[in-house]
Structure 1
Amino acid sequence: KTAEEEGNKAAAMVFTHAMKAEEVHAALYDEAARNLDEEGEVFYYLCPVCGNIEKGRPEKCRICNVSGDKFIKY
């Protein structure tokens, strides 16, 4: 709120992206904890712009709309 109130649009956008990415991270952690006994490799894809993580390479980032081909595979 402070960034928005001060008119700092760039900071407000960064904080909004970070908050949304952390919501996704929490869901992924929860899913991983429930599936600890499953075997096999799992790959994740990281958005280099906002930090969003996806289980598969998306067409575009659901948070910042960057193209999916920019995502880094882990």
Structure 2
Amino acid sequence: PDFVKEAEAEGNKAALMSFTFAMKAEEVHAGLYQDALENLDQTEEVFYYLCPVCGNIEKYRPEKCSICGVPGDKFIKY
């Protein structure tokens, strides 16, 4: 995307990292949306774990975030 190219061209490492994390997290979110659509009839309560740094969402608390490396104990259960 253009905003990634612009951040690279400007040497803005913080913006580049933020955009990269967001793009990777959105790929995960797309998969979760698809899972939700395929399981609309499920009545069992489901929990997810959110990385507070990059927005990654996991079905189980990971040892560390697969996107940004934050320790799993920092994930927030929803």
Shared topology, TM-score over 0.5? Answer: yes
Q: In the comparison of the two structures, how many residue pairs are matched?
A: 74
Match of 2:66 in 1: 62
Post-superposition offset of 1:56: 0.6
Provide the alpha-carbon RMSD of the alignment: 0.5
More helix by share: 2
Q: Structure 1 residue aligned with 2:14, among 4, 10, 30?
A: 10
Gaps of 5+ in 1: none
Post-superposition offset of 1:39: 2.1
Q: Structure 2 residue aligned with 1:43, among 37, 41, 47?
A: 47
**Paired amino acid for 1:23:** E
Identity %: 77
